[in-house]
A and B are shown apart, each in its own frame.
Chain A
């Protein structure tokens, strides 16, 4: 099961690398290069995480124990709550005082996704310290 998940992760990364190379070849090099760097970082993280999990499993420990699931649940709830409140405040303030500007919707969605993931990681570390 774990090796299947790992294989799927690497297949997705390979597919994304293909898209990055295609974009660089097509002349959209800022996006392609950024994507390629992201893929390299993601592949490194997946490999490091997998080694740590294998090390724990070799010692007979369970890296996916109930505390980890509990923390993940609290982090997900905490991050979505902060995200929704922050977004609501930004929309409110922006609708009243913000200038009318044109934005690339894909860049905006990318920023929103990064913010949500960042909040999740931060929340996870916070709850990991707390519990």
Chain B
């Protein structure tokens, strides 16, 4: 699953640690999300979309055959 986290975070002038604190997760989780290695739960996806004031679909983009275990 692709996402626009890095782009939006940098546009908002936020550090990974600040975004992690706002979403209630660890910085490592934000790093993994930005690299596209980890797929968030619906609750985390919702929290992150709320931080950027946009819908989940605008933040996360599901690609064909993009499912993995993470």
Contact = CB atoms under 8 A, between A and B. Distances in A.
B38 A56 contact: no
Contacts of A62: 20, 24-26
Contacts of B40: 66
Contacts of A130: 37, 70
A65 B32 contact: no
B25 A67 contact: yes
Contacts of A67: 25-26, 28-29, 32, 38
Interface string B2-25: 000000000000000100110011
A63 interface: yes
A86 B45 CA distance: 39
B25 A60 contact: no
B32 A131 contact: yes
A102 interface: no
Interface residues of A, number: 14
B63 interface: no
Contact of A59 (B21, B29, B41, B70): B21
B51 interface: no
A47 to B, nearest CB: 20
Contacts of A66: 25, 29, 40-41, 43-44
Contacts of A60: 21
A66 B47 CA distance: 13
A111 B8 CA distance: 50
Nearest to A66: B41
23 contacts: A56-B26, A59-B17, A61-B25, A61-B27, A62-B20, A62-B25, A63-B26, A65-B26, A66-B29, A66-B40, A66-B41, A66-B43, A67-B26, A67-B32, A67-B38, A68-B29, A74-B69, A130-B37, A130-B70, A131-B32, A131-B37, A131-B38, A131-B69
